[in-house]
Structure 1
Amino acid sequence: MLDISVLGPLQVICRGVPVVPTAAKPRKVLALLALSPDRFVSVESLMEELWEERQPRSAATTLQTYILHLRGLLATALADGPDRTGAGPVEVKDVLVTKPGGYLLHTYGGRVDVREYEARAAAGHRAMAADDFAAAAATFREALDLWQGRTLIDVQTGPRLTAEALHLEESRLSLLGRRIEADLNLGRHHEILGELAGLCTEYPLDETFHGQYMAALCRTGRRGRALEVYARLRLVMKRELGLEPSPAVARLQHTILSGGPGIDWEPGAGSWAAGPQLLRAG
């Protein structure tokens, strides 16, 4: 009955009717509840999100006002929206539920994009563990296609929402790396070169994307370009962080320089090792 999307703009739809408020603070409250659907969210967490450490004396009363505003939007949707689930009459207090010390947003089995993302990601990891790289790549793509932009891109996030959004973004980047790893294992190095070039530009300090780009370039016989990618990464890391690239990336560069027997991406290991396949052109 309650469909929730947070992987991009905030969308909460009750019986086909959008219920996201336009005012910034009620929007924050709904966003924090939407990130924990069917789970308890404490008043303390909501207040921290709204006011951080500068909570006014009227904070509790003001929060209750925001909850009433959200319930008003939900009540309108429940009255106006068609019941396509067969749930029958539902009271607004059973959708936005008051619990001792907090609240809970009850979805009644509605679609939640984060849940779908996590389920497909888990299926992709299982496929990778079974060396079914085709299924893994396809499932990871399905998970990543659920993203419509940066998490809660249209919400003014406080500390709690910022932390949740960062966690989801890190998960997305990790999953993207795993999908590319699956594609490399499938020999799709030509197809992903352009994507990796863009990712290395967007994330100039990300060693995984740079290592994968170097590996893909080597597979197409472009060792010189792979070494240029390493040199650029090393320059940026030294300038921005005062660090050298990790031993894994450095070993990859050394193997390319030494003209060894090849370079093989180790699935799931996050490192590169000598092997016969990767430097073959074609």
Structure 2
Amino acid sequence: MDLQLAGRRAVVTGGSRGIGLAAGRALAAEGAAVALVARNARDVQDRAARLAKETGAQVIGLTADTGDDASVTAMARAAVRELGAVDILVNNAAATNRGAIPDDDLEAEINVKVRGYLRCVRAFAPAMAERGWGRVINVAGLAARQSGSITGSVRNVAVAAMTKNLADELGPSGVNVTVVHPGATRTETMLDIVGERAARSGTTAEEFESRMAASVSIGRLVRPEEVAAVIAFLASPLSVAINGDAVIASGGARGAIHY
């Protein structure tokens, strides 16, 4: 299927690893020019160079802290300068979750993952609306639908609520806004966490991962590139019928029915 992304220009925050890097790769492979954004300049520029060589697309690395107004403004200017304009925004930057997020980190989490996403939307969406087309994909997480961490749930529910409000506001101008909830995903960070938890529980990483996979309908953890495929579709003109809603990219969490 041709996702009609050739010639589009995308910004992916949290783009130096995991789901963000996979999303950048998927978009570049479809012919989009991509700006990967992360806080570590060396890492993000290295990843961008590798993706450019791998896909043949224009891929650049930009540095920004999405928790800071001035940093996001500077990043947005650089992205527009280098790409010419921005049609697609993938909001993915967030603090690494190596387990339950302490509840006293709520303020910091809201600033980076909720306000940070909104900062980026405000930086790019007005120009999308002026041109009459755009896509914003907010990466949240299944903590929006599960208990276990007050901070984790609050930040992801807030992203979902923000998404719906923005979709209603921007939809008439041709800008669709959606939220993706990945479940446990086989990123490098997740595999590190699995190893740490396995060691603490006196089992192997393989056994611990198998226990996690038992709660997933497909019988295994989803891979970053599989979440990225969902994001790439939502970034496409073909996704116009989806706006304001959550798309679950978890492999299917067993048990609960959401409708």
From the two aligned structures, give the one with the greater helix fraction: 1
From the two aligned structures, give the one with the greater strand fraction: 2
- State whether TM-score is above 0.5: no
Larger Rg: 1
Which TM-score applies when normalising by structure 1? 0.28
Which TM-score applies when normalising by structure 2? 0.29
